[in-house]
Amino acid sequence: MSATTRLASDDAVVQKAVVDERPSTWWHLPLTTTILGVLGLIFFGLRGIPGASSTYGIAREKDLNPLGILPEQVTVPSMAASIVLAVIALLASAALWALQSRPHRLRPAIRNTLVGIFAVAWVLSFMTWVISERSLSVGTLLQSTVILAVPLAFGALSGVLSERAGVINIAIEGQLLFGAFGAALVGSLLGNVWAGLIAAPLVAVLMGALLALFAVGYQVQQIIVGVVLNVFAVGITSFFFGSVMSANPGMFNSPMRLPTLRIPLLADIPLIGSALFEQNILVYLMWVIVVVLTIALFRTRWGLRVRAVGEHPRAADTVGIKVNPTRWSNVLLGSAVAGLGGAMLTIGTGVAFGEDMSAGKGYIALAAMILGRYHPVGALLAALTFAFADSLQLRLGTMSAAEGGVSIPGDFLLMLPYVVALFAVAGVVGRVRVPAADGIPYVKQ
Amino acid sequence: MKLELREITKTFGTFVANDAIDLVIEPGEIHSLLGENGAGKSTLMNVLYGLYRPDGGQILIDDQPVRFTGPGDAMAAGIGMVHQHFMLVPVFTVAENVVLGHEPTKGGMLDIAAARELVREISARFGFDLDPDALVEDLPVGAQQRVEIVKALSRHAEVLVLDEPTAVLTPHETDELMNIMRQLRNEGTSIVFITHKLREVKAVSDRITVIRRGKVVGTADPSADQADLASLMVGRQVSLALDKAPAAPGEVALQVSDLRVTDDAGVRTLDGVSFDVHRGEVLAVAGVQGNGQTELTEALLGLQDNVQGSAVLHGAELVGRSTKQILDAGIGFVPEDRTHDALVPDFSVAENLVLDQFNRAPYGSALSMNPTAVRTNADTLVGDFDVRTDSPQNAVSTLSGGNQQKVVMARALNRELSLLIASQPTRGVDVGSIEFLHRRILGERDKGTPVIIVSTELDEVTQLADRIAVMYRGTILGIVPGDTDRDVLGLMMAGYTAEAAREAVASGARTTDSQLADEGELA
């Protein structure tokens, strides 16, 4: 009897019989990287401009650069450098071929490292080619990356907040737009940019209230509500822009800008100093909110309950957690956060409100949330990735007009962030674990 | 704590689920609530737990009337519940699930150390071996149930409601659960034990209340005769001992060899299964839910991706063919989850009855359907299978679960079959209808059709099977004759090989279940 008792009360974790066999789709990844690598080798390297050189600006004169450890700029022959980098990328995909074709499964850590090496080498190869005969300041590129990441990151965090609680948030676009609108309008009316900063989340919360009302209160299909709200946001802000703001821009829509808070010394670190320590308050808030939200979601009572509501609302209900109020408050909180992102578009960059100025950033933020696996830190990293593509696009767009070198049509470059988003999301979708009750309204009997 | 339910009434639309039910739970007793599926037991307990609002009646605790607006109130009053479908968050750890809703905190942060300690302390009291940091989704079902019990006890439950707790357990695990129940009672916790299994009621109860069609129809003593309890529960004399003729197996019809299914994460959910089914025999696949049975039946039907191995039916390979081709080969299929996989809820009974044949004569052609043939077919089958509905044109969702199951079975049996695969053929069906459906299955067998029955109910397995294949973690542990001892089957369901199980039983490992079965009042 003793033997039977032991086996029957086996509380140990079930060891799943994981098959150590390469999946039938093993060749997709190496093939994709090889094609991209070969294209890179041909276009960036072999068809580059012979004799041209590319210059990367590294350190600035005033930077802290003891004994000149970092050179002020690095100049490389464009063709040779692009070829070398493309070959490195191809070596990484060759390694992927070799490792993925083995009968065993490749460990994700190794695979991701190789993909990372490939991506960095490929992007550098592209950049080296495209700045032939010109120079590119890396510090400025990174600084604008961080600035461009702010709306995306805040938007993605809005998504994380509401989807972790089980409400699909397609309305990020509208929330950003409302935030931008509110910041410009209130800041302008009161003549105080700080008032605009406070107003942005409050105005964006209106958007969240509508989302929560329909998605949680009336249990309307959540994707449809989100899309409709985005259209509504464009419509109503454009109406006010066209009627009130255009009539008296001085009073209702004057460009204002949050002051840049420069942290002495730190801001003088080469490459990253200006990106990290010479920004306005919204950028610093972004770092803080990511940290606070990560701790709150995964280390506090509130976070445990929010995640329970998003994963298994009925289980949460049976232990006395109020499911729909939790969803309401998370959607509202998320909208407020997205509103801050919207503020970056107007008062953060010192421009007046413009019609449909969020221009799809909300959807990119949604992609960042998915790529970031519904985790604040992941969302931030994804937002930075997309923002890097955007920042590069802006830099290259201004270059194309210049004399000589490589010229890529500006409209083509505008695609860049979206292409990156498409590839990135396509690569992870299916491997991301969505909160189990995401998008399913909770109804009590 | 004394708990009293007085004249509780709960209606859903025109359906009266609970009709003025009175129930008194004395302190420190195991009170069984016995009734068939759909008798209103779970509804009553959900009213008690604050999940449903009653339409009438009141709840009294220690003779003081109380009102519960949600489960939070019920828990605060000392009522704990272990739900039939576990209320656990699969991606949380054991400790997180246990403390959810009453989390210990330290300096504003979750105090996971305290939560672990709580789990360890309660586990130790009952001899559980729960790892507080294990993810619930990785635990076997029995362990998940113990997490639910720990969760209820961590809230200082004085009345613990167990809703059909044995449905997911092996007989030995059931015995252990009964020991836990007795231990809890001895420590002063009252237990409400909801079940439809007579033997378990007899084994563990102090008092028995029988519910039928939403009403209390009587109370009984655990010493009562099983047949008496059964007739009280069903409302008429029942004889469940199905006298079935011995099988006359013919040649091998289905030959499955080394069938494997791999899921997206690379987990082998079906791991090298091989067996034969002969014409005119019933092969029952036994095992605790989630050990690969779903994958097996769906792989045979062409509903799974990533299937390797072979399954040859009358000389034709099934693996790699589309579900439509497989159905055209004459396979009748009853999926295990009727609401998700078997019926279109908003379609009428008549339409659901031809779902697998709507484009074939006489019901239709490639372009059109023949409503007259569909209607005639429905009238016949509704009569044959005693489907209780006002009209076959009613939406199938308006039927009770048992009647829906009859629709699914009627559809599967309504043509010449080369193979019948039925998963949980009588899930949620009342006792009288079970007998009827079992006879239909055996009738199909006697016509010479090979039959595969998948069931987690040992009673059903032993009643229908000519041979029994026991599945455990994706493999078949052994194929044994249909008259194999219940204890041997129970141990095999827990992972013993047939020989090891026979040895253990020979050396005296018997369960209450089999001992009571031996008394023989009811098979």
For the ranges A175-184, B66-75, B391-400, the one whose mean pLDDT is highest:
A175-184
> B75 vs A321: CB contact, 8 Å cut-off?
no
Q: Is the pLDDT of residue A8 over 60?
A: no
Contact B490, B511 (CB under 8 A): yes
Q: What is the mean pLDDT of chain B?
A: 88
Q: Which residues of A fall within a CB distance of 8 Å from B91?
A: 311, 433, 436
Domain limits for position A175 = 139-431
CA torsion, ordered B288, B294, B296, B301, to nearest 10 deg: 150
Distance CA A430, CA B269 (A): 19
Same domain, yes or no: A112 and A175: no
State the nearest Cα–Cα gap between A419 and chain B, in angstroms.
Answer: 27
Q: Is residue A442 part of a domain?
A: no
> A7 vs B51: CB contact, 8 Å cut-off?
no
pLDDT at B222: 87
> Could you tell me the two tokens for B51?
């999940």
Distance CA A175, CA A210 (A): 11
Domain edge (last residue) among A100, A133, A166: A133
Q: Which residues of A fall within a CB distance of 8 Å from B157?
A: none
Least confident of A344-353, B37-46, B444-453: B37-46
In this prediction the ipTM stands at: 0.86
DSSP β-bridge partners for residue B334: B422
Q: Is the pLDDT of residue A7 over 70?
A: no
Q: What is the pLDDT of residues B96-126, one digit of tens each?
A: 999 999 999 998 899 999 999 999 999 998 8
What 3-state class would DSSP assign to B197?
coil
Same domain, yes or no: A286 and A339: yes
Same domain, yes or no: A59 and A183: no
Q: Which residues of A fall within a CB distance of 8 Å from B130?
A: 11
Same domain, yes or no: A40 and A171: no
- Closest Cβ–Cβ partner in A14, A299, A315 for B139: A14
Q: What is the pLDDT of residues B399-453, one digit of tens each?
A: 877 889 999 999 999 989 999 999 999 887 877 788 889 999 999 999 999 999 9
> B267 vs A19: CB contact, 8 Å cut-off?
yes
State the nearest Cα–Cα gap between A311 and chain B, in angstroms.
Answer: 6
Q: What is the pTM of this model?
A: 0.85
Same domain, yes or no: A119 and A164: no
- Closest Cβ–Cβ partner in B49, B96, B143 for A11: B143
Same domain, yes or no: A154 and A224: yes
Q: Is residue A15 part of a domain?
A: no
Q: Which residues of B fall within a CB distance of 8 Å from A316?
A: 89, 100-101
Same domain, yes or no: A404 and A296: yes
Same domain, yes or no: A356 and A275: yes
Q: Please give the residue of chain B at the shortest CA–CA distance from A5.
A: B172
Strands B451-454 and B419-423: parallel
Domain edge (last residue) among A133, A151, A178: A133
Domain edge (last residue) among A81, A106, A133: A133
State the nearest Cα–Cα gap between B510 and chain A, in angstroms.
Answer: 8
Q: Is residue A16 part of a domain?
A: no
Q: Is residue A124 part of a domain?
A: yes
> A301 vs B110: CB contact, 8 Å cut-off?
yes
Q: Is residue A440 part of a domain?
A: no
C-alpha distances out from residue B330 to A294, A376, B247, Å: 56, 53, 22
DSSP B15-32: EEEEEEEEEEE-TT-EEE
Same domain, yes or no: A318 and A276: yes
Q: Please give the residue of chain A at the shortest CA–CA distance from B174.
A: A8
Q: Which residues of B fall within a CB distance of 8 Å from A18?
A: 265-268
Same domain, yes or no: A254 and A393: yes
> A301 vs B140: CB contact, 8 Å cut-off?
no
Q: Is residue A108 part of a domain?
A: yes
**For chain A, how many structural domains are there in total?**
2
The enclosing domain of A149 has a CATH number of: 1.10.3470
Q: Is residue A371 part of a domain?
A: yes
C-alpha distances out from residue B426 to B58, B83, B334, Å: 35, 21, 10
Q: Is residue A418 part of a domain?
A: yes
Higher pLDDT, B431 or A97: A97
pLDDT at A445: 62
- Closest Cβ–Cβ partner in B49, B97, B128 for A11: B128
CA angle B41, B45, B51 (to 5 degrees): 130
Which of A304, A323, A375 has the most B C-beta neighbours within 10 Å, making it the best mutation to test the interface with B? A304
> Could you tell me the two tokens for A139?
């510090």
Least confident of A15-29, B290-304, B461-475: A15-29
Q: What is the pLDDT of residues A34-74, one digit of tens each?
A: 999 999 999 888 888 888 888 888 887 777 777 777 788 88
What 3-state class would DSSP assign to B10?
strand
Same domain, yes or no: A343 and A281: yes
> Could you tell me the two tokens for A20?
């150590």
Same domain, yes or no: A129 and A151: no
Q: What phi, psi does A196 have (nearest 5°)?
A: -65, -40
